[in-house]
Structure 1
Amino acid sequence: MKKQISLLALVSLLSLSNTSLADVTYDVTGSSGTRDGESFSEVHLGLNWHVSDWFNWRNSVFTQFGSKMKTVNGLDSAALFNFQAYTEGRGLGIEFFAGPGVRLASEKSNAAFGKAGVTFALAGIRLGGGVQTFHYLEDRVDEDGNTLNKDETQTFITISGGGSF
């Protein structure tokens, strides 16, 4: 029975994806936002698998840092549903995205999250912003030993550039 289920799952995944290597993109993203009332910055190196026109599985390694917080390193993995409108050649466009994800990180910062936002594209540069809500799985403290909230909402602005394979 297990082999039959695994084979069925593999066949379903292959038939659902119907992608080529051009549907995998990468990007380097820098963002800034607020967390627990403090400013922070993040740098992400992301890999995006555009399973379809409306679904992107995004994985990114990141570093988050700020003046009154411990530096956090980790991996974000998200299932992003999107709507996009681009000119031919993708030189100009807009993209709306939203979806759930999971963060595997240092400093007891493992979390489930949801995020949503909008990105504007001009040539190879993308500017955007949005909101990301986290539910942390463990108790955390800042550099001063103050307990941080288990639930938090971050707002962010981002600038990125990238390419495709």
Structure 2
Amino acid sequence: MSEVKFTPPMLYRSEEVQQILNIAIARQVTQGEMTRKQLLEIAAEMDIETKDLEAAEQEWYTQHLLDLKRQKFNLYQQEKFKNKAVRYVIINGFLMTFNIISAGTLSWAIYPIFFLGLPLSLTAWKTFQVKGEVYEQAFQRWQVKDEIKQSFFYIWTRIRRAWLT
């Protein structure tokens, strides 16, 4: 199999430049980590002003924190769903067992399985649908609740420390 000779184009699109630089930086950094000093040096070599780099760092950090909150929210949603699913299995398992013991066959217990399964399936849809307006609204509500909870925890911790010392 013969190798294809690469001739670099005269112009690159901005996405292509970004992809090429990402690959080059990843190859240059051997351990997968880079110091801030190295980041500043690379930016200087690329004629990126310090204020632009700092703005990009701030934007990255804000997005990183938002991504972490979304992960926490998704785990919270999945835990809620898991609890509902376990309750569904326990209740319907009891009803099926009771139905089989009393009637010798599975008859009337099928109806609660279906009727209780509908809300569970809708909850599953909401839990694993991580895009869209409904998800964003649920995330915003959860984020407000989480911030309030963290504020109360902070205040409570400060009161306890003041009281104990």
TM-score grouping bracket, smaller chain normalisation: under 0.3
Which structure shows the higher strand fraction? 1
* Larger fraction in helix: 2
Larger Rg: 2
